[in-house]
Amino acid sequence: MILDEPLGVFDPRQQLGILRLLKERAKAGTALLLSVHQMSDAEKLANRLLLLCDGQALACGTLDELRTLAALPGASLEAVFLGLLEQQRRSSHAAT
């Protein structure tokens, strides 16, 4: 099942129902591919994440794997994403 912003247009009560439905589908064996922009939504739903920046893959893995990659144990996905962007920026500056 491929969904683009599945929580983007619902109020909080409706979001709970959608979350419950998506989790039930995943438990039943349905593969879900979701495109989301709100990091908190991704944290609620995903067991593996592909982080994109300017259309390019920044990192891929579980939240814990991404936290390790960013050297930010226990951080939110948003903090991890920003940390990885900063690492990439420093790396590209060091290469020039």
Question: pLDDT for 57-74, tens place per residue?
Answer: 999 999 999 999 999 999
Lowest mean pLDDT, pick from 25-29, 43-47, 81-85, 89-93: 89-93
Average pLDDT over residues 22-30: 94
Q: What is the mean pLDDT of the chain?
A: 92
Average pLDDT over residues 50-62: 94
56 burial (CB, 10 Å; 0-12 / 13-18 / 19+) is exposed
**Predicted pLDDT of residue 72:** 97
**Predicted pLDDT of residue 8:** 83
**Predicted pLDDT of residue 96:** 61
Other CB atoms closer than 10 Å to residue 47's CB: what's the count? 8
3-state helix, strand, coil in the chain (%, to 5): 50, 20, 30
Q: How far apart are CA 70 and CA 78, in angstroms?
A: 11
Which candidate, 67, 84, 65, places its Cα nearest to that of 75?
67
Q: How far apart are CA 50 and CA 46, in angstroms?
A: 10
